[in-house]
Amino acid sequence: MNHQPRKRFGQNFLNDAQVISRIIESINPGTAQNMVEVGPGLGALTLPLLERVSELQVIEIDRDLIAKLQQRQLTNLVIHERDVLTVDWSSLAAEQHVRVVGNLPYNIGTPLLLKLLDAREHVQDVHVMLQKEVVDRLCAQTGTRAYGRLSVLMQSCFDIQALFDVPPEAFTPPPKVQSAVVRLTPLTQSPNAELIEKLSQATRLAFGNKRKTLRNNLKKTLSAESLSAAGIDPQARAETLTLEQFLLIAKMLP
Ligand code: SAM
């Protein structure tokens, strides 16, 4: 491979041709689409993507990997050297919504998803590899162990489909955990920025102490009476509330 994988950049390179082609088939790239790959690394997804699209933009933080990509002189590849968490998605989507793809470094999976939530009006869809545990949280239904803030926030704005699991052996070096590929498609209608901010606040408070009831977790902000008036049991725990109930609470916040 001739590159020492850097742990701080979450470098676990895909080495399994079957997994790679399954990811590409799930994305189903179209020639003229505005495809943006996060963390191209040594090109495991980049090269097959380039066979299918007329232009591919990639965002990579590691200069050594960028130098390796540049050496290949791929004419239809546009390389952005930067931290993906600082990207302005509206400028990348100036002409067309972006299709975001990538085998994400595990340390930035959740922060990147939250950035994409804010940028969803510029996004066509997202296909990413994440820790399976994060994919489970993204898709979790009310009342399950994995259900939490991330589930509520992301489900309020995206249709989310877990596609398939990927074992550690598919990567070099192998990560310690299972991975999974997930597809997120922005809903045609979703809460506006102000309501998302309140939903974020409502979920932070409600899930604040998992063993406490809603009444206790929300005590400083909302009375038990106002919860009851909205048809929400103040004795309930956050993990039993539906997305609609969280939205009701968000709308009641001062
Ligand atoms: N796509 C390659 C593959 O599947 O083999 C590499 C995936 S590796 C899990 C993650 C890649 O993201 C690495 O190339 C790493 O350098 C890059 N990366 C890590 N943090 C990043 C950041 N904040 N912004 C952009 N790229 C980042």
Q: Give me the domains of the chain, ranges plus CATH numbers.
A: 7-186 (3.40.50.150), 193-252 (1.10.8.100)
How many Å lie between the centroid of ligand 1 and the Cα of residue 12? Answer: 8
Place of tokens 């809903």: 187
Nearest to 171 by CA among 179, 159, 163: 179
**What is the distance in A from the centroid of ligand 1 to the CA of 108?**
10
Percent of the chain with pLDDT over 90: 96
pLDDT confidence bin for 2, thresholds 50/70/90: confident
Ligand 1 atom nearest residue 12's Cα: 9
Determine the residue of 62, 113, 179, 181 to mutate for testing ligand 1's pocket, defined as the one with the most ligand atoms within 8 A of the Cβ atom.
62
CA of 39 to the centre of ligand 1 (A): 3
Number of alpha carbons in the 13 Å side-chain half-sphere of residue 232: 29
Residue 123: CB atoms within 10 A of its CB come to: 22
Q: What is the mean pLDDT of residues 220-234?
A: 95
pLDDT at 1 > cutoff 60? no
Q: What are phi and psi of 230, to 5 degrees?
A: -90, 5
Residue that is written with structure tokens 């996004």 in the block: 123
Q: Which of 35, 60, 169 to mutate to test the pocket of ligand 1 (most atoms within 8 A of CB)?
A: 60
Q: Is the peptide bond before 173 cis (omega within 30 degrees of 0)?
A: yes
Closest-lying ligand 1 atom to the alpha carbon of residue 85: 23
- For 129-148, the pLDDT digits (tens) are 999 999 999 999 999 999 99
Q: pLDDT of 51-82, one tens digit each?
A: 999 999 999 999 999 999 999 999 899 999 99
Pick the atom of ligand 1 nearest to 46's CA.
Answer: 1
> Using CA atoms, how far apart are residues 101 and 103, in angstroms rounded to an integer?
7
Q: How many CB atoms lie within 10 A of CB 35?
A: 25
218 alpha carbon – ligand 1 mean position (Å): 39
Ligand 1 centroid–CA 185 distance in Å is 22
Which helix (H) or strand (E) segment holds residue 65: the answer is: helix 63-71
Is it the case that residue 163 has pLDDT exceeding 70? yes
Distance 118 CA to ligand 1 centre (A): 21
| Separation of CA 165 from chain center | 16
The mean per-residue pLDDT over the stretch 177-182 comes to 98
Write down the number of H helices and E strands in the chain. Answer: 11, 9
At residue 213, does pLDDT exceed 90? yes
- Predicted confidence band at 16 (pLDDT cuts at 50, 70, 90)? very high
Q: Whose C-alpha lies nearest to ligand 1, atom 23?
A: 83
pLDDT at 211: 85
Percent of the chain with pLDDT over 70: 100
Using the atom order of ligand 1, give the atom closest to the CA of residue 39: 12
Coil, helix or strand at residue 199: helix
- How far apart are the C-alpha atoms of 203 and 44, rounded to whole Å? 37
Average pLDDT score, the chain: 96
CB of 53 closer than 8 Å to CB of 76: yes
Four-residue CA torsion sign, 17, 18, 20, 25: positive
Identify the bridge partners of residue 154 per DSSP, sorted by sequence position: none
